[in-house]
Amino acid sequence: MSAAYAVIGWPLGHTLSPVMHQAALAELGLDAAYTALPTPPGTENDRFDDVRAGRLAGLNVTIPHKLAAFRAVDRLTPAAQRTGAVNTVIRNGPRLLGDNTDPYGFSEALRQFGNFDPTGASVVVLGAGGAARAAVIALLDTGARRILVANRTPARAHQLVQDLQPPNDTPIDSCALTDTRLPQRLAAAQLLVNTTSVGMSGGPAPAESPVPPGRLHPNLFVYDIVYRPALTPLLAAAHQCGAPTLGGLEMLVMQGAASLQQWTGRPAPARTMLTAARAALEGSDSP
């Protein structure tokens, strides 16, 4: 009997998950299908029940159902507990295990595709939502020396820092995007991470960069987790000043690869997934 996997969210739009997962399943030689299941709020528990009953072998979860998944599963991985959200549901008999593969996806994409090791780095993270939380967790785990979380609403950045303040001596603080300290911290930083929607196609500011291009420098690795478009205004500005860069598609692939490996017990072919996702993204961006 063919296994069925899916991603749920609302709205799902043009999700890349089916194409990249299906390419991986084919390479692994598994009789399985991965589909997108648009799931309106209030109906997500039906999908979780499908996993419990074996009608689905595993589930990816995206906005707005990550908190519902966190509450619905029977057990949480440490990553899910720390992020406070679940993006991967794994079936263990009638019981459900909830994981969050975003911190892994963030750090593995940076390491494997960006060839950047944040150990000992001074880092500026823009944004204070779920993606920022995953990024900060990954950076703490990989030994970043200092982290500043900057957000349009400083109270949210402060709350994120309070929630994740590590027991070790890693300095982690917060500020507003308009704070006068931000230019100085960027000048001294080795890594800038954008987790905001600024520069995203279809977002509120698709033509803008979250920081003025003049604040970038060649010794700053610029990691923009936005993946549509592939070249955001921030990445374009980084290229112009000679800074190394990484877009968000690689993170999407690596967090998906981690999900697939948990469902199947087989190492996921991340390069195949990236090739398929990149081709689908280029096709969807074509006129």
Check for a shared fold between 3-100+252-284 and 117-243. Answer: yes
Segments of the chain with pLDDT less than 50: 287
Spans of all domains in the chain: 3-100+252-284, 117-243
**pLDDT tens digits, residue range 205-257?**
999 999 999 999 999 999 999 999 999 999 999 999 999 999 999 999 999 99
User: Is 66 an active-site residue?
Assistant: yes
- Name the CATH superfamily for 117-243: NAD(P)-binding Rossmann-like Domain (3.40.50.720)
- Burial (0-12, 13-18, 19+ Cβ within 10 Å), 230: middle
What distance separates the 2 farthest-apart alpha carbons in the chain? Answer: 60
Q: How far apart are CA 253 and CA 248, in angstroms?
A: 9
Catalytic-role residue among 21, 66, 146, 228:
66
Q: Please identify which residue in the block is written with the tokens 């069925």.
A: 4
**Phi, psi for residue 21 in degrees, rounded to 5:** -70, -40
Share of the chain above pLDDT 70, in %: 98
The pair of structure tokens assigned to 230 is: 């592939």
Check residue 287 and give its pLDDT.
47
What is residue 173's three-state secondary structure? strand
Q: What is the pTM of this model?
A: 0.95
Q: Which CATH superfamily groups domain 3-100+252-284?
A: Leucine Dehydrogenase, chain A, domain 1 (3.40.50.10860)
Residue 160: phi, psi to the nearest 5? -60, -45
